[in-house]
């Protein structure tokens, strides 16, 4: 880590974002997928380290942790509760339902109402929560009408089991359909400096005041290789390419809420210092054109 900071809670340097008008979070969170085993399957190789990563998140100012019932499955949520419960008042736990697992690296959608209800109830138990602050539909199931899946989340919200609804892996039309059904406070799609296919979704989120949570935020492809534009920009700032990729996301939109994940305390600290890296208009132009 070559950047230095005087901020002992660097996540706070990214500014804040409102979720649903009543939850305020720092704009650099943590994705808890990688604290599980290989292939996002089973327990971590080192449970003590996974616990340390989660606890260090809070020390560094992270107040939004994203997970899912399918991470492990169930392992990530259980680790979060074991490491952090009872939670500080400012911590927002976001989880997801709608994916099943058939083994390491194997995922399949299941957004049937009965499964989503069971998934939410399970997440409540594992996370030791009476209400989940942000519950996200993990994907759109091609075999289940979106209105049925989201209708179940609306019911769960009305029952007080979830506070706000988010969606994930949607296109613009699906987001529009979701907004016709219920208020949506977040969208979680794959997006990074090298993969901007969700740009239209991001633009809709900006127009609607919806948080955009990019997953796989550190991917940069050839741009991060020696001589590539991200590599060169990072070197000019005394930063790593990963830090520069996160800084680009934060500068790209005020609705951006990156959640870089890691199983290493050192990498967590390196990622969060990216909140202190401010890119100029010229820096952004170089990366935008790449």
**Which residues have a catalytic role annotated?**
71
By the 8 A CB rule, do 74 and 105 touch?
A: no
Spatial strand order of the sheet with 186-190 comes to 30-31, 64-66, 92-97, 132-137, 162-168, 186-190, 211-215
**CB proximity list for 261: less than 8 A, separation 6 or greater:** 30, 31, 32, 33, 34, 35
Rounded CA-CA distance 140/150 in Å is 10
Among candidate residues 70, 61, 86, the one with its CA nearest the CA of residue 32: 70
Q: How many CB atoms lie within 10 A of CB 159?
A: 11
| β-strands 30-31, 92-97 pairing | unpaired
Rounded CA-CA distance 31/87 in Å is 17
Token pair belonging to 107: 């995922």
Peptide bond into 8 cis (omega under 30): no
By the 8 A CB rule, do 100 and 148 touch?
A: no
Rg (CA), the chain: 18
Rounded CA-CA distance 39/104 in Å is 4
Strand ranges (DSSP E) for 52-124? 64-66, 92-97, 99-103, 106-109
């Amino acid at each position: 880590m070559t950047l230095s900071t005087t901020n002992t809670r660097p996540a706070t340097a990214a500014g804040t974002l409102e979720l649903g008008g009543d939850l305020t979070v720092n704009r650099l969170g943590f994705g808890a997928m990688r604290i599980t085993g290989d292939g996002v399957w089973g327990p971590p190789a080192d449970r003590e380290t996974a616990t340390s990563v989660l606890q260090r998140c809070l020390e560094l100012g992270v107040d939004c942790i994203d997970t899912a019932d399918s991470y492990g499955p169930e392992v990530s949520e259980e680790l979060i509760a074991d490491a952090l419960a009872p939670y500080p008042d400012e911590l927002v736990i976001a989880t997801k339902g709608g994916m099943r697992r058939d083994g390491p690296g194997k995922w399949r959608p299941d957004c049937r109402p009965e499964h989503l209800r069971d998934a939410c109830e399970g997440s409540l138990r594992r996370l030791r929560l009476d209400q989940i602050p942000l519950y996200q539909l993990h994907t759109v199931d091609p075999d289940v009408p979106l209105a049925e899946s989201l209708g179940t989340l609306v019911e769960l919200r009305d029952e007080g089991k979830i506070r706000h609804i988010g969606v994930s892996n949607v296109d613009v039309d699906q987001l529009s359909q979701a907004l016709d059904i219920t208020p949506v406070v977040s969208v979680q799609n794959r997006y990074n400096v090298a993969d901007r296919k969700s740009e239209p979704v991001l633009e809709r989120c900006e127009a609607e005041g919806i948080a955009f949570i990019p997953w796989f935020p550190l991917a940069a492809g050839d741009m991060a290789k020696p001589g590539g534009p991200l590599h060169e920009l990072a070197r000019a700032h005394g930063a790593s390419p990963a830090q520069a990729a996160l800084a680009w996301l934060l500068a790209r939109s005020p609705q951006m809420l990156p959640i870089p994940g890691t199983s290493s305390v050192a990498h967590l600290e390196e990622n969060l210092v990216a909140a202190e890296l401010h890119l100029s208009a010229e820096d952004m132009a170089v990366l935008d054109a790449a």
